Chain A
Amino acid sequence: MSAIFIGFVLYLIIVFCVGLMTFRYSKTVSDYFIAGRKLNPWVVAFSERASGESAWLLIGVPGLTLASGFLGIWPAIGCTFGIVFSWIFIARRLREETGRYDAITLPDYLEARHRDSTKTLRIISALVIIFFFTIYVAAQFLAAGKVLNAAFDIPPFWGMVIGVCVILFYTVMGGFFAVAWTDLIQGIIMVFTLVVLPVAGIIYIGGFGPMAENIRFINPGLLSVTGVKTGLPLALTIIGSLGIGLGYMGQPHLLARYMSSRNKKELKKSMLIAVIWALLAFWGATLLGIIGMAILRNSMAEGLSAGAILKGDWFMHIDALGGRIDDAEKLMPMMAKFLTLPAIAGIMISGAIAAMMSTADSQLLSSTSAVAEDIYHKIFRKDAGQKQLVLISRIATIVIGLFAFAIALTTTQLVYHLVLFAWGGLGAVFGPSIFFSLWYKKTTRQGITAGMITALLTVIITNLIPVFKGTHVDLVFGFIMSILAILTVSSLTFKEEP
């Protein structure tokens, strides 16, 4: 059995143990969905970061910069600005307000904040959460199949089955407690990978000077932040990449992390931890692709085939002048195997699987809360007891998980497009709605309803226009339209209270 596989099995044993150990803590729906607002600042910070970044950060971002050079720095800039904005302007305020209204979910908060007796806000927001998160979780399951296939040669179907079973087990057992504590472990592995690998790579290549020289040889344009693009394609790439950051303040599974903090004061410590994590991880992931490109070029310049240097199993078709390999997204596992010891590489590859799991479990829990708490409890069974609600929530987690698995089995869409669509939809629908509900007194129920519907329609329509497909501009357009709708309708419907 390889050291990498042993590392992965050890990781699975740890998350199983966390599931078992946290089972007894989930006695109420508040425990199951926001850990009873009892989490310490470190767990809150790592849980928010690990849930916020899927395997995209460990695999997608290095792959992007390997393919496009420093043009790939824009998503890192957009995301880190978005993360900082959300921690400063949303986290503390949302924790305070949801505590005051005793709101467990976002629909709870929106309904209480706008005194919505018609349940319109609750129903719309719960349906949006269920729709986008089911797609999102399905995309994470698909990614699990791919990563396990690439790492251990497990067929993608069985890779997905393993991913689904592990996530469902510990999420159903321990609810938010299990998800948050496994996030802490997963977040540590992720940031460890993204700091150690670029440092090892830069030592291997001999510093930033030789790195730049090797890349300049491939194509000097790869050293520029505008890459080799110009005009409209460049503008759309930069706007879209920066726009990804707008999504953070509207992701219900991340906002739930703020709500789970012991109190508002401790969130400032969480903010510091989470932002340092984000800067290390995003800059590490960006540099990893660039350094990988330099190592490939360096290996070829030494007269050795890069395939031989890099163990020959992934970098099969290197075109030094184009800087291409057969699959750019396999760079991280390959670099881990090449630059570190097998046992450490095992932990790092498990990190990619951990990144996927830490996102999928949080999203699964958020969609469960929309079904069990927002719809079943608050609309159909107001008199249900806590024990019954926790049981219903556990059943709902299993049903939604299996439904997402069925979508993952039948979809023909690429993971990347599914994730883009869900991230854009949730970010545009909830971002402006939550921000204005927290900060603008004159926001009304009608304004928020109009904002959410406008954002949803804008994201769907933008995705149908071919020129915008594959960019993040759907989120930018949805965000702007939602802000306009909220402000216009709120100003028309706001009435001063007597």
Chain B
Amino acid sequence: MPFWTLFFLIAPPVFLLTVVLIAYRKFAREDREIQ
């Protein structure tokens, strides 16, 4: 399969999952601080 096809198949989900996990940790920290 062409390189860019593989890239666009794999990179967006990996990137988005990473972003969401970082956001989750940040929100968890905020919620702990409020408590």
* Interface core residue of B2, B17, B20, B31 (most chain A CB under 10 Å): B20
Closest to B34 in A: A265
Q: List 11 A-B contacts (CB under 8 A).
A: A70-B5, A70-B8, A77-B8, A80-B16, A81-B16, A223-B1, A225-B2, A225-B8, A265-B31, A268-B28, A279-B13
* Interface core residue of A81, A225, A264, A283 (most chain B CB under 10 Å): A225
Choose the segment among A40-48, A84-92, A347-355 that binds chain B (4+ C-beta atoms closer than 8 Å): A84-92
Inter-chain contacts of B2 with A (CB < 8 A) = 223-225
Mostly, the A contact residues are helix
What is the size, in residues, of chain B's interface with A at 8 Å between Cβ atoms?
18
Q: Contacts A88-B19, A268-B27, A271-B23 given: A225-B12 contact, CB under 8 Å?
A: no
Instruction: Indicate with 1 or 0, residue by residue over A126-159, a CB within 8 angstroms of chain B CB atoms.
Output: 0000000000000000000000000000000000
Inter-chain contacts of A264 with B (CB < 8 A) = 31
Inter-chain contacts of A268 with B (CB < 8 A) = 23-24, 27-28, 31
Asked whether A223 lies within 8 Å of B19 as measured between CB atoms, the reply is no
- List the interface of chain A (C-beta within 8 A of B): 70, 73, 76-77, 80-81, 84, 87-88, 92, 208, 212, 223-225, 264-265, 268, 271-272, 275-276, 279, 283
Asked whether B8 lies within 8 Å of A88 as measured between CB atoms, the reply is no
Asked whether B1 lies within 8 Å of A212 as measured between CB atoms, the reply is yes
Instruction: Indicate with 1 or 0, residue by residue over B1-35, a CB within 8 angstroms of chain A CB atoms.
Output: 11011001100110011011101100110010000
Q: Which 6 A-B pairs have the closest CB atoms?
A: A268-B27, A275-B20, A88-B23, A279-B13, A265-B31, A212-B1
Asked whether A279 lies within 8 Å of B8 as measured between CB atoms, the reply is no
Asked whether B24 lies within 8 Å of A271 as measured between CB atoms, the reply is yes
Cross-interface CB contact of A279 among B4, B5, B16, cutoff 8 Å = B16
Inter-chain contacts of A283 with B (CB < 8 A) = 9, 13
Inter-chain contacts of B19 with A (CB < 8 A) = 84, 88
Inter-chain contacts of B21 with A (CB < 8 A) = 272
Q: In whole Å, how far is A306's beta carbon from the nearest beta carbon of chain B?
A: 23
Inter-chain contacts of A208 with B (CB < 8 A) = 1
Inter-chain contacts of A272 with B (CB < 8 A) = 20-21, 24
Asked whether A224 lies within 8 Å of B5 as measured between CB atoms, the reply is yes
* Interface core residue of A73, A92, A264, A268 (most chain B CB under 10 Å): A268
Inter-chain contacts of B9 with A (CB < 8 A) = 70, 73, 283
- Give the distance in Å from the alpha carbon of A351 to the alpha carbon of B17 in the complex: 26
Inter-chain contacts of A77 with B (CB < 8 A) = 8, 12
